[in-house]
Amino acid sequence: MQDTTKGFFFMKSIVYEKYGPPEVLQVKVVETPIPNDDQILVKIHAAEVTKADCEMRSLDFQVKWLRLPMRIALGIMRPRKKILGGYFSGEVESVGNRVDSYKKGDNVFGAAGLRLGAHAEYLCLPAESTIVPKPRHSSFEAAAAAVLGGLNAIHFMQSANIQKGETVLINGAGGSIGIYGIQIAKALGAEVTVVDSLHKKKMLYHIGADHFIDYAKEDFTKCGRTYDVIFNMVAKYSYTACIRSLNPKGRYIMANPKLSDMLRALLTSMCTDKKAIFAFAGETKEELITLTKMMEKGQIKPVVDKVYSIDQAADAHRRVETEKRLGAVIIAIVNS
């Protein structure tokens, strides 16, 4: 919408002005950003609500050592950046004078990185950000659902150097990253065992898992089986037990490592024939292009749990926090 008396455009956005439960989220009208010469303005069609969004909103982080640095980065008493959302799909609304890689009307998807701001009708980003054309035949909701999980899974699976015929175990397989880790490992020719809660079993088999372990009934580190690659999304199992569950020359990939495990990983990689890897994803444009190609080939299929309107943002956050979701939770921004 536009204030014709002042020439300003305004947009609806999901704003939080203090830390707390989902109820702190409010829909407000704010001024639409204007792209600089090297930026593009994206009209957001869909954006994912992630666990990270919920952690930033509540200042309650799964990885405990992140709490102090994240509070300093986000704002000591109240958030500096009031609009969350890092993963989106949409349509280019306008471009800066020096941008020739996009034009108005281009369908795109991508990651906003530390800029955040995707939980709004418009998002302004540098043209060189992690943004590429939306995969052909993918809906806006499906495209937005794939960015976080796909980018991170590609990064970690490439770090693991998975070979055809190897055995891979993914702990926390039903989360945003694990869902895509399964599909990528299968595309690489691996045999995949997944660990998660029982209510996710059917979905995990549907996307390609070969074997399922209910974490509530069985500890995968005590069942006597070993694997070439263990991809651990959950900072629950002991580091030593996971390393013991690897085959010779096995690789242990940690997505949410404890600080102590990061230090131990260096010793494991230096002093044994096994590798422990905790390199964090850079979420690069090159990785997003790889994701696009895999989606267009049908090797990766996005999984959407539920789509909410912009006015249901608090409900979307609650859904993520229940850990009951079967795929990505999406906010549909356009026409909300």
User: What is the per-residue pLDDT across 155-169, written as a single tens digit (0 to 9) for each?
Assistant: 999 999 999 999 999
**pLDDT > 60? residue 119:** yes
Least reliable range by pLDDT among 74-78, 93-97, 163-167, 302-306: 74-78
Can you give the pLDDT at residue 64?
Answer: 67
Q: What is the CATH number of domain 149-277?
A: 3.40.50.720
Average pLDDT over residues 25-50: 96
Is the sign of the CA dihedral 143, 144, 147, 148 positive or negative? negative
Can you give the pLDDT at residue 96?
Answer: 94
- Given a contact cutoff of 8 angstroms between Cβ atoms, the answer to whether 144 and 87 are in contact is yes
The side-by-side arrangement of strands in the sheet containing 246-254 is 211-214, 191-196, 167-171, 227-232, 246-254, 275-277
Task: List, in sequence order, the alpha helices (H) in 161-281.
Answer: 176-187, 201-206, 239-244, 259-271
Can you give the pLDDT at residue 7?
Answer: 39
Is the sign of the CA dihedral 193, 195, 199, 200 positive or negative? negative
What phi and psi values does residue 194 have, to the nearest 5 degrees? -120, 150
Average pLDDT over residues 71-88: 91
Give the residue extent of every domain in the chain. Answer: 2-134+303-332, 149-277
CA gap 111, 129 in Å, rounded: 8
Q: What is the CATH number of domain 2-134+303-332?
A: 3.90.180.10
pTM recorded for the entire structure: 0.89
Domain 2-134+303-332 matches domain 149-277 at the CATH topology level: no
Average pLDDT over residues 191-217: 96
Q: Rounded to whole angstroms, what are the CA distances from 247 to 143, 225, 231, 252, 263?
A: 36, 9, 14, 10, 21
